[in-house]
Structure 1
């Protein structure tokens, strides 16, 4: 038992398969009224986990509108390559969620016993493929060559992209930073009505420039473009470029 727990704690967080992430969402997404003990009171749910892994308040506000909140927290946190399941277990202890601690360990032991988890990936890309293969196998797809080809074609751009899917939006919002307050209100109201909007703030880090990922989002993943026109907006050259691009491709 101790050896199994040691292996589980050493797993990179990005190794968590889809079924385990969804289990954690089922257990942590429901808000808890009573906070943790101690001088720092933390919510004993996904909000407390988000706080412990330093998810920004802006992202937390966005996550609050998502159907699987804990899944989103994990997706953001796993960008830190040093994050492990052991760290997750420590945070669950800090949140007084020993019930989730036990369920997580039991689930991962089951996954590992079935050989469905690559617990020591050589590089992040292989780890990502391991997660996808686990998900694909659960859906009775057995062509490893095909799944690897699909993985190479997958292009994560925003924080909403999951381990094995590209997120699509109702619209991409172009605006000037000076209009941030208005845009925040727009995002909140539109999200409350069920619309999913994307902004440049949703981009994952690592892009040389924002031009390529934003134009790809506009062309392939967004149904509409929303322009927040203002004097400040008109002064930004990149906004002019994106506006003309949207017209050129008839978005």
Structure 2
């Protein structure tokens, strides 16, 4: 489009996520209940770091049902390179479904362009005309489950954090203690000054790439804020969620 904001900022994906979540979980999910974050803050260094850890960066719309309710959100995330969604590129879209009995399923096809869009619109018109001719009615809203829609900070995810710290003994222990205080455990830590995510690191500092285990969004966000306040932490250069692992 002439104005790509709806795509770049995730608004289009959020609208689709609200519809799909409503259909899948028989619960009314409004657009206002979908947490939305676009890709404008994703950098070339983020993409390079993702490659080093075997991931690609994708803008995901995620709808999931938990024991507590329904969580719906849109944000950029790191997806393992071996995951089917990692291969979705260009004008193609995909819907990846995980069901208890059916297992993983993926629906893949063109999501942009004149012909795919016109085909979808004409298909809707044909369906509406057929219903009118036979006196039928289209499917009605199915909201019998009426599950609670959870706030964004209740979602469970993982974080990958890139940070620049003072290069001296004990710094990693300080960072790890902050994570432990917030109930967040560390999956991996990497320090490699010659890798792409460590560019422009000043003398006397080190670049770390830290990946957490799964935790609530609220706990992870509070952890990052606390780590940012540590004296030896010079800068947090990037925070990305990890999905599909």
> Shorter-normalised TM-score: what interval?
under 0.3
Name the structure, 1 or 2, with higher relative contact order (CA <8 Å, separation 6+).
2
Higher strand share: 2
- The TM-score, its normalising length taken from structure 2, stands at 0.27
Scaled by the length of structure 1, the TM-score of the pair is: 0.26
Specify the structure having the higher radius of gyration (Cα): 2
